[in-house]
Amino acid sequence: MSTISMLRRGVTHLGLDVSKNSIAVGILHPSGEAVDVEKIFADEESVRRLIGRFPNPRALRACYEAGPTGYELYRLLERLGVPCDVVAPSLIPTAPGDKVKTDRRDARRLARLHRAGELVTIRVPTPAEEGVRDLCRARKVAIADRRRCRQRLSSFLLRHAEVYRGGSSWTVRHEQWLAARHFEDPAVARAFAFYRAEIIARDATVEAMEAELRPWFGHDLFADAVSRLGAYRGVDQLGALVLAAEVCDWRRFSSAGVFMGFSGLTPSEYSSGERTRRGHITHAGNVHVRTQLVESAWAYRHNPALTVGIRRRQDGLDPQTCARAWAAQQRLCQRFKALAARKDSTNTVITAVARELAGFVWAEMIA
């Protein structure tokens, strides 16, 4: 008998296909290959009854896919003494010809793959980490809502031949220009007031969320990451908190390339035989990390410089961190300029710089 078989002897594997109202449970006993499947209601009482049927919870190994149902099931199983893994859905092996997907089949497959050790697990955040992550994501949603409101107002003004040509929009000067607009038709004037009120409300929401997030800059969970990541150009304290809350444990990535893959910034590849073809980035992984890195990459379109904001964020930091941040800035600014001279698409340039920035911030956080 192999070592792996001896280690798994006596262990029952539970493959859980979780949805809003039900959980399909695939039960793979240690003595057999057939997976028994049953369905239970998706609530705490039903899960407790299921686990209570087994004499030794520590002899169970459960797993389910990460998804919209979150991590409450994982935490419940841990409280019940059942080791549980949350697995990455996009990395679950699938047969090319398997085109049938049902809850029962998924539960069977999860149980078998879990016993075989073929599933890739993710790190489950603590409740405090998840709370800050949720607040960061809520801020992102609020910013997107505000952007849509601004676009609606701009479209409204364009329809009425009111075009701002005084420079950048949504500045103090632009707000003064908006306040001076008047419309003779009362219905049009009311519509204009409605659009402006929407934007004012969204501004207040974003400001309130950012005020809620600021105390977390110095919290023990995130203070080190926020200060070190904030030393890099394009990564302010809010951006650093987003990266820290989404990643949490940087050392779970064995290399910069693995972290780039996690952020979905690596190119896809379709190669066979003598032909090698690379395509667009995979977009697999954490969209919030990817978005933040892309936003930060725009800062490298200018020449290297230690601005007032960067100096303020670097004040009191380890000189080695500051030196690494300066080396990254010199490299990425040069990279941006070189790529911009060769590429027609600015998005391609930004993506390439964001991918290299991902490598720099990973290296910083494991230094």
- Mapping DSSP onto H, E and C, the string for 69-119 reads CCCHHHHHHHHCCCCEEEECHHHCCCCCCCCCCCHHHHHHHHHHHHHHCCC
Dihedral, 194, 209, 167, 310 alpha carbons, nearest 10: 180
In this predicted structure, what is the pLDDT of residue 275? 72
276 with 256, same domain: the answer is yes
226 with 316, same domain: the answer is yes
In this predicted structure, what is the pLDDT of residue 9? 62
3-state DSSP helix/strand/coil % of the chain, to nearest 5:
60, 10, 30
In this predicted structure, what is the pLDDT of residue 6? 36
227 with 361, same domain: the answer is yes
H/E run at residue 240: helix 237-247
Global confidence as pTM:
0.88
229 with 264, same domain: the answer is yes
**Higher-confidence position of 237 and 10:** 237
Q: What is the DSSP string of 287-330?
A: HHHHHHHHHHHGGGGSPP---HHHHHHHTTS-HHHHHHHHHHHH
In this predicted structure, what is the pLDDT of residue 94? 85
pLDDT above 60 for 4: no
Position 121 in a domain: no
pLDDT above 60 for 186: yes
Per-chain mean pLDDT for the chain: 93
**Cα(211)–Cα(124) distance, rounded to whole angstroms?**
26
pLDDT above 50 for 236: yes
**Higher-confidence position of 3 and 354:** 354
Report pLDDT digits (tens) over 196-205.
999 999 999 9
How far is C-alpha 77 from the chain's CA centre? 25
8 Å CB contact between 100 and 91: no
In this predicted structure, what is the pLDDT of residue 321? 97
CA dist 329 → 82, 336, 343 (Å): 47, 10, 21
**Higher-confidence position of 266 and 77:** 77
pLDDT above 90 for 7: no
8 Å CB contact between 284 and 261: yes
108 with 233, same domain: the answer is no
153 with 139, same domain: the answer is yes
Section 129-143 average pLDDT:
97
Which range among 55-64, 230-239, 270-279 shows the weakest confidence by mean pLDDT?
A: 270-279
Section 72-92 average pLDDT:
94
pLDDT above 70 for 8: no
**Cα(279)–Cα(204) distance, rounded to whole angstroms?**
41
Section 268-287 average pLDDT:
76
Report pLDDT digits (tens) over 314-364.
999 999 999 999 999 999 999 999 999 999 999 999 999 999 999 999 999
Q: What range does the domain containing 46 cover?
A: 3-116
Report pLDDT digits (tens) over 106-134.
999 999 999 999 999 999 999 999 999 99
Domain boundary (179, 200, 216) is at 216
Q: Which two tokens stand for residue 282?
A: 């995979």
Q: Give the confidence band of 32 by pLDDT, cuts at 50, 70, 90.
A: confident
Roughly how many angstroms between the first and final C-alpha of the chain, as a whole number? 42
8 Å CB contact between 163 and 223: no
Q: How many structural domains are present in the chain? A: 3
Percentage of the chain lying above the pLDDT 90 cut: 87
Q: Work out whether strand 60-65 and strand 84-87 pair parallel, antiparallel, or are unpaired.
A: parallel
pLDDT above 90 for 159: yes
8 Å CB contact between 157 and 163: yes
In this predicted structure, what is the pLDDT of residue 3? 35
352 with 230, same domain: the answer is yes
8 Å CB contact between 322 and 314: yes
The CATH number covering residue 36 comes to: 3.30.420.10
Section 56-74 average pLDDT:
95
In this predicted structure, what is the pLDDT of residue 10? 85
Domain boundary (116, 136, 154) is at 116
99 with 200, same domain: the answer is no
Position 104 in a domain: yes
In this predicted structure, what is the pLDDT of residue 131? 96
